[in-house]
Amino acid sequence: MLQVTKRPESLLDVKMHYCPGCGHGVAHRLVAEAMDELGIRERTVGVAPVGCAVFADHYFNCDMIQGPHGRGPAIATGIKRSRPGCVVFSYQGDGDLASIGMAETIHSAARSENITIIFINNAIYGMTGGQMAPTTLVGQKATTCPTGRDPRVNGYPIRVCELLAQIEGAKYLERTSVHTAANVLKAKKAVKKAFQCQLEGRGFSLVEIVSTCPTNMGLSPLDACKFVQEKMLPQYPLGVFKDIEGGKHDASRN
């Protein structure tokens, strides 16, 4: 019998806690499939964030560490510099990466740490219950901007890939999404390319995955996908922002 699909070895056979229609489950699978295909599971160490994906440490079948809010890239730095032979990734949400952890994000890119960041952008705080994120759209409602994000009061959303693109140390940056099957496949390729960037010692790589949070967007799973297509993608255009080839200084080795 031909087996057409199976659980990736890099994903543990446990029940995930994510809400119906949430993009995290898909993103986890993409990371796991990339690890399987590259044969790196046994030497990968992942960093789980604070936020909905805090439990990612119980889902991936590789060594995992869970750290303080926003500090994933710093933790990943410590691991990579101590164990340069390991593949290290930090999995982070938008509040974690672009708000409290922005300094760590920018400086790990500036140092061109040879790590990979998987950045889930769903424009809202999930775990804490729908507060305004640094990526919440203008006009989008959140529990801390109940009438919608007003730029005069709440400022503007941050475009992470565009911001990091100007940093020399950022070697691979791509924004993808998981709101349609075609985009899921593209996101998978991007994740794999980011890991390859690290395996080749080229330096800092980040894949932004525009994702859904039906629970806190206050939408059905299908409408959340529509929201991504119609509202989020105009603000967060998909594509490769950086893909610097060639031998690079490997910051993980002194």
Partner 1 sequence: MGEKLLMKGNDALAEGAVRAGCRFFAGYPITPQNEVPEYMSWRLPQAGGAFVQAESEVAAINMLYGAAATGTRSMTSSSSPGISLKQEGISYCAGADLPIFFANVVRGGPGLGNIAGAQGDYHQSVRGGGHGDYRTFVMAPNSVEEMGNFPRRCYEVAERYRVPAMILSDGVLGQMMEPLEFKFPEVDPKTLKAPDWALGECRGRKNRLVGSYDLNEGRLEILTVNRAQRYREIEEKEVVFESRQCEDAELVLVAYGVAARAAAAALKLARAEGIKAGLLRPITLWPFPKRQLLELAGRVKGFLVVEMSLGQMVEDVRLATEFRAPVHLHARPSGVTPTGEEILQKIKDVMKAGKGERACCK
CB nearer to partner 1: pick between 76 and 217: 76
- Spell out where 150-203 has E strands: 170-177
Smallest distance, partner 1 to C-beta of residue 98, A: 16
Stretch that binds partner 1, among 55-63, 162-170, 230-238, 239-247 (CB under 8 A): 55-63
Residue 11: closest CA among 63, 66, 61, 53: 61
CB nearer to partner 1: pick between 123 and 167: 167
**Residue 77 interacts with partner 1 (CB under 8 A)?**
yes
**Residue 56 interacts with partner 1 (CB under 8 A)?**
no
Give exposure, 100-133, as e/b (b: 16+ Cβ within 10 Å): ebbebbbebbebbbbbbbbbbbbbbbbbeebbbb
**Residue 32 interacts with partner 1 (CB under 8 A)?**
no
**Residue 86 interacts with partner 1 (CB under 8 A)?**
yes
Task: Give CA–CA dist 142/123, Å, rounded.
Answer: 10
Cα of 2 vs its chain's centroid, Å: 33
Residue with tokens 């980040």: 206
Q: Give the one residue of 7, 37, 68, 150 binding partner 1; rule: CB under 8 A.
A: 68
**Residue 103 interacts with partner 1 (CB under 8 A)?**
yes
CB nearer to partner 1: pick between 80 and 188: 80
Task: Give CA–CA dist 205/194, Å, rounded.
Answer: 5
Stretch that binds partner 1, among 31-39, 63-71, 174-182, 228-236 (CB under 8 A): 63-71
Stretch that binds partner 1, among 73-81, 161-169, 203-211, 220-228 (CB under 8 A): 73-81
**Residue 64 interacts with partner 1 (CB under 8 A)?**
yes
Smallest distance, partner 1 to C-beta of residue 12, A: 8
- The CB density around residue 185, as the number of other CB atoms within 10 Å, is 13
Smallest distance, partner 1 to C-beta of residue 105, A: 10
CA distances from 32 to 102, 147, 200 (A): 26, 39, 19
Tokens of 54: 């805090």
Smallest distance, partner 1 to C-beta of residue 65, A: 4
Cα angle at 194 between 192 and 199, to 5 degrees?
90
Cα of 18 vs its chain's centroid, Å: 16
- Answer whether 25's CB lies under 8 Å from 46's CB: no
Q: Give the one residue of 48, 53, 178, 209 binding partner 1; rule: CB under 8 A.
A: 48
CB nearer to partner 1: pick between 66 and 235: 66
Residues that bind partner 1 (CB under 8 A): 12, 41-43, 45, 47-48, 54, 57-58, 60-68, 71, 74-83, 85-86, 103-104, 106-107, 111, 254
